[in-house]
């Protein structure tokens, strides 16, 4: 059901990283929507977008994006919010009315940072519109970051957009982010170092290995367990001087919350991590790693690609690649 986190490095690179977990096969394709593109919304007239962006285009009927980053360095991901998200049942006069999955397009197309979002979102109304391919009204919440490192959670409440600063920089699924943060108090004992040797009676007890400080770190795939695990690991994540290492560290953290096929079933169908994604707000680069490959694919928003006339699709060649070892003495 998706895990996301943001991470700010010593070199002022700001990353939004996420897993996309679902049973329905999305077959996501990285897609660039160019600057000034005229986008057809479901409930409103077509509008010319201000900013271009790249996102993961999900095959669920019309163009639907699960995440993306725009040319201003604003990045967003969606997360299921079952039992919590609520939408308006009718259009509101004087508001821009959106289907739940269109919120990402609106944000990436018209918003430059979170301060800008807080002003513009007051005029947004999200409706209770069913996705006919999934046959549900997607219950969504969103994680958003900008170039400054500011991170926020967005929750739809009766169609209105509620924006909450997210100082933990992690988001999973229901319950609310406040509940998850309160729950972290149950894990305040977690530490990357082992505890001192306590004396029990007359016995000096030794911790079970140097990893003893992480004893009690949840290992399951529920929303609550993933939130705790991601929060702890993100807090301890090493910030390197080499950005390629920081990017690699982000993917390593995503590995720790990713669901392998078969570990979770939804009506007999594997519910698994279909792809991992990291977006760099500084370089405007989109890094995606699908489940069926060990390769990371990247795409940077350049002026050339942002000024295309139509949407540009980048199908992914999913294959496992191995590098043969060579004898250096030969």
Instruction: Kindly list the catalytic residues.
Output: 2
Q: In Å, what is the CA distance from 278 to each residue of 19, 50, 252, 253, 289?
A: 9, 23, 11, 11, 9
Supply 296's token pair.
């990371």
Within a 10 A sphere around the Cβ of 170, how many other Cβ atoms?
28
Q: Which DSSP symbol is given to 216? A: T
254 DSSP 8-state letter: H
What is the maximum span of the chain, computed from C-alpha positions, in angstroms? 78
**Structure tokens given for 242:** 């080499």
Strand partners for 154:
142, 163
Total residue length of the chain: 330
Residues 87, 47 contacting (CB under 8 angstroms): no
Contact 153, 166 (CB under 8 A): yes
**Cα–Cα distance measured from residue 131 to residue 101, given in angstroms and rounded to the nearest whole number:** 9
Lookup: tokens for 313: 């699709």
For residue 290, what are the β-bridge partners?
A: 275
CA distance 146 to 113: 5
Residue 199: C-alpha distances to residues 187, 194, 215 (Å) = 23, 15, 19
Coil, helix or strand at residue 154: strand
């Amino acid at each position: 059901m998706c895990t996301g986190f943001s991470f700010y490095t010593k070199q002022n690179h700001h990353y939004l990283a996420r897993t996309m977990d679902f049973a329905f096969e999305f077959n996501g394709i990285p897609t660039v929507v160019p600057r000034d593109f005229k986008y057809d919304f479901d409930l409103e007239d077509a509008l010319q977008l201000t900013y271009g962006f790249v996102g993961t285009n999900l095959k669920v009927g019309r163009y639907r994006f699960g995440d993306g980053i725009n040319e201003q360095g604003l990045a967003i991901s969606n997360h299921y919010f079952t039992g919590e998200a609520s939408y308006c049942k009718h259009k509101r006069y004087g508001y821009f009315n959106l289907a739940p999955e269109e919120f990402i397009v609106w944000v990436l197309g018209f918003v430059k940072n979170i301060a800008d979002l807080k002003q513009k979102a007051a005029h947004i109304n999200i409706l209770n519109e069913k996705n006919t391919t999934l046959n549900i009204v997607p219950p969504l919440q969103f994680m958003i970051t900008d170039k400054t490192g500011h991170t926020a959670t967005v929750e739809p409440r009766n169609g209105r957009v509620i924006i909450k600063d997210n100082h933990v920089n992690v988001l999973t699924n229901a319950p609310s982010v406040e509940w998850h943060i309160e729950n972290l108090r149950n894990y305040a004992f977690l530490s990357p170092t082992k505890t001192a040797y306590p004396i029990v009676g007359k016995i000096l007890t030794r911790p079970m290995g140097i990893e003893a400080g992480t004893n009690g770190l949840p290992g399951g795939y529920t929303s609550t367990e993933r939130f705790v695990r991601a929060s702890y690991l993100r807090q301890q994540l090493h910030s390197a001087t080499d950005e390629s290492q920081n990017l690699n560290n982000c993917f390593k953290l995503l590995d720790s919350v990713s669901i392998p096929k078969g570990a979770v079933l939804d009506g007999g169908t594997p519910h698994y991590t279909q792809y991992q994604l990291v977006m760099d707000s500084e370089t405007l680069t989109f890094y995606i790693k699908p489940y069926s490959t060990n390769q990371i694919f990247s795409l940077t928003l350049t002026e050339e690609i942002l000024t295309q006339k139509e949407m540009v699709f980048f199908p992914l060649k999913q294959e496992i690649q191995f590098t043969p070892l060579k004898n250096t003495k030969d």
